[in-house]
Structure 1
Amino acid sequence: MSADTDTGALLIHGLGGTQYDLGAMHKVLKRAGVETHALTLPGHGATPEDLIGVRAESWLDAVTAKYREVAGRHDTLHVMGMCLGGLLAVELCKRENHRKGRLVSLAAPVFIDGWSTPWYRGLRHLVYRIPGLAAGMRVEEEEPYGLKNELVRSIVKAKFERGENFHYRWVPLSCVQEVDRLRGWVMRGLDAIACPTLIMHAHEDELTSARSARFLRDGIADSRLVLLDNSYHMICVDNDRDRVAAEVLSFMDRAAEAPQPSRLQSLDGEDAQRLLTAYRESLRAGEFETLFPLFADNVVWTEEGDSPLSGVYRGKSALIDLFSRLMDYSRNTLRILEVGAPELRGRAFAMPLRFQVQDGPGLQESGATHTLRLRANVITRVNSVADDPPRADALWRRLAAASLRHSAS
């Protein structure tokens, strides 16, 4: 059976967001043999001002059109949504009488009652009654950005500060009004949903409590609820992201990509090459959060030299501390400029890189070599040595001191 007639999945992003909201779900599903489809919701992908005047009907019309466009290509089509996308996925499956596949609702805010929402949140309904006022009011995206993982949170903060267009920094209150209208639709007629449904939500979701997930479970006959213990709202990129992916694959009757044999690989080995390529690409893109699945749980990272960064970091949790320091000391200006091809050195691989940071009024470039050891298709050791150790040590001492002064001011 061809890929065009087998299994597909429609993935719907969240409010103010992009497909980044869904983390690695596209990649995970594709590796499991599921063709994924996505869309950019009306008002998204450019500037927050574009959301002013967008109606909930426009979002629902867009996902309905995309659903109808791709449904004929597959024997099985699953529907998955995150946050606003979760609400839209539920309402889509209800209105389209979706029976061609399954429904996955991720952190859908049926109720906006999470622990970080202010006590006066209910007053927004009074503002809605004053013509034009809600359109001129902003709801800012603030820490913790839906993330319990401190490293991913610091990376997201840096992306916001650099102005990257992966998620809006704010949305107009009038847009939240449209979410409220959509929530009202979702609450009605859940018993009409005919497809098997997986509902995932974090106990500690700061935007919407687990009450939302339980409401969906109680209203949808053929549903299963999974509550997560170590994440905030953005469950596809937070600490529970691997469990989210595993639950989705299991629910869709799909196996994860088969693990490769546990053996030390040479550079010519396909698995070693894949691992090294992933490491290079993550560094090049500055997407440090995507490095973590590449490391062994007991990874040892040695940062040579005599600077505030120097030392031995044991385990993934220690690496969070290292990368958080890198972001803090550089005040989120760290840029990887170049990552060279790996060179086999005995039983390890050496990879040169160059980076740039803001140092006072100017930019400083520096270089280092990462020497990696691999086992069982993960990175077990990293040794990082600066090209010019005295100069690099002095640079990081200056940056650490400046960061401390900035924090104290």
Structure 2
Amino acid sequence: MKFRNSTKPDLHLAGMQPDHGFHYPGGPTAVLMIHGLTGTPAELKFVSKGLARAGFSVYGVQLAGHCGSEADLLATNWQDWLDSALAAFDRIRERHETVFVGGLSMGALLALLVAAHRPQRVNGCVLYSPTLFYDGWSIPRISVMIHLAILLGFGRFLRFRENYPYGVKDDRLRARILAAMESGRSEEAGLLHMPGRSLGQLLRLIRDLKRRLAGIRTPALVLHAREDDVTSVRNASYIAANIGGPIEKILLEDSYHLITLDRERELVTDHTVAFLHRMERARPSALPAFPQSERVAS
């Protein structure tokens, strides 16, 4: 099936809720954007529009079980979320020879898994606030015990409300996001609560990715806020130290977890555009123009 030239490509799985994905036409090179757990494609629209203005065609996928109710999410597992991302990538690849994959939070992990499953087809990964460990400054100290309880099978009894500051440093934006979550508009701002069983599925996804990370040779860019309230810089550092391919790590100084929406969203867009252009210029057989490195955003 080919994509329509619209903002609503048919990326959803049969039987799921209406699709809230998007498509911003821009050029022959494509970028697939993947949102996070309990999140929504809207998290990535600002950056995606910037990429389209820079000449890239950008597609945002709605993962299975998302943009609906908690019951919708609980009806899916991590393999369903990965299948959503792989199906979207395969359809985009039918139209575009060069395809990059980006993602926010869990979406960054799924971007890496797409690269692991399509090693000769993904041209690069863009990783926004990757979430391997819930260890940010807003996360309760008992989170380690909670993770252990989930792994032991008690996740069905747990349910977690999002914590202040909800991944956003900008006060006005945070207020809008919280109002949307509290009113139940999950297609705009995601769910206010995370079911323990869904967190358990994320832990299984993380375990699978860690086993594959050293074998991923796809060039990558990772952007992470130094003050991330949900996932510390340790997450970006772990990926940079363990991935098998070249990676550049950039730290942001004025954002929290949702860097694609927060105060430095324009800077995030600029760094992404620069990375994509570098990868386009690189010869297929050559290494990209950067070594493993770390920079502070400016």
* Alpha-carbon offset, residue 191 of structure 1: 2.6
Worse-matched range after superposition: 234-243 or 187-196: 187-196
What SS is found at the alignment partner of 2:200?
A: helix
- Alignment partner for residue 253 of structure 2, among 226, 229, 239? 229
In the alignment, is the contact (CA less than 8 A) between 1:197 and 1:223 conserved in 2? yes
Separation in structure 1 between the aligned mates of residue 151 and residue 121 of structure 2, nearest angstrom: 39
Tell me, in whole angstroms, the C-alpha distance in 2 between the residues paired with 1:170 and 1:58: 20
Tell me the equivalent position of 2:133: 111
Letter in 1 for 2:118: E
Mean alpha-carbon deviation: is it higher for 5-14 or for 222-231? 5-14
Aligned to 2:227: 204
Preserved contact between residue 53 and residue 174 of structure 1 (Cα < 8 Å): no
Describe the shift of the 1:128–1:163 C-alpha distance in structure 2 as closer, same or farther (beyond 3 A). Answer: closer
How far did residue 69 of structure 1 move? Answer: 1.3
**Structure number with higher relative contact order (C-alpha < 8 Å, ≥ 6 residues apart):** 2
Q: CA deviation at 1:49?
A: 2.0
Which consecutive unaligned segments of at least 5 residues does structure 1 have?
255-409
Deviation sequence 1:24-83 (CA, Å, 0-9, x none)? 022111111211112211111111222224211111111111111111211210100001
Report the Cα offset of residue 188 of structure 1: 2.0
SS in 1 for 2:68: coil
1:68 to 2:90 alignment: yes
Q: How far off its partner does 1:23 sit?
A: 4.1
Partner of residue 7, structure 1: 29
Q: What's the counterpart of residue 52 of structure 2?
A: 30
Shift of 1:20: 1.8
* Seq. identity, %: 32
CA distance in 2 between counterparts of 1:130 and 1:99 reads 37
Which residue number corresponds to residue 176 of structure 2?
155
Measured in 2, the distance between the counterparts of 1:160 and 1:104 equals 27
1:158 Cα deviation from its structure 2 partner: 2.3
Aligned partner letter, 1:33: G
CA distance in 2, matches of 1:73, 1:129: 41
Where do 1:58-137 residues align within 5 Å?
A: 58-128=80-150, 131=153, 133-137=154-158
| Aligned counterparts, 1:211-226, within 5 A | 211-220=234-243, 221-226=245-250
Equivalent residue letter for 1:42: A
1:179 deviation in Å? 0.7
Shift, 1:232, TM fit: 0.7
- Counterpart Cα distance in 2 of 1:218 and 1:104: 16
Q: What amino acid sits opposite 1:210 in the alignment?
A: V
Q: How does 1:7-406 map to 2 (within 5 A)?
A: 7-128=29-150, 131=153, 133-165=154-186, 166=188, 167-220=190-243, 221-253=245-277
Aligned-pair CA distance for 1:89: 0.5
Q: Is the 8 A contact 2:44 2:60 kept in 1?
A: no
Q: Residues of 2 paired with 1:112 and 1:75: CA distance? A: 36
Give 1 or 2 for the bigger CA radius of gyration: 1
The question of whether the paired residues in 1 share the 8 Å contact of 2:78 and 2:202 is answered with yes
Counterparts in 2 of 1:120 and 1:4: CA distance versus 1, 3 Å = closer
The alignment's TM-score, normalised by the length of structure 2, stands at: 0.79
| Partner amino acid, structure 2, of 1:251 | F
Q: Provide the C-alpha distance between the structure 2 equivalents of 1:101 and 1:31, rounded to a whole number of angstroms.
A: 20
* TM-score, L = length of structure 1: 0.58
Report if the CA contact (8 A) 1:114-1:206 is conserved.
yes
The AA in structure 2 aligned to 1:246 is D
Deviations 1:100-148 (A, max 9, x none): 42110110111111111111111224433665x4224211123211011
Distance 1:102 1:208 in 2: 23
Q: Give the unaligned 5+ runs of structure 2.
A: 1-24, 279-298
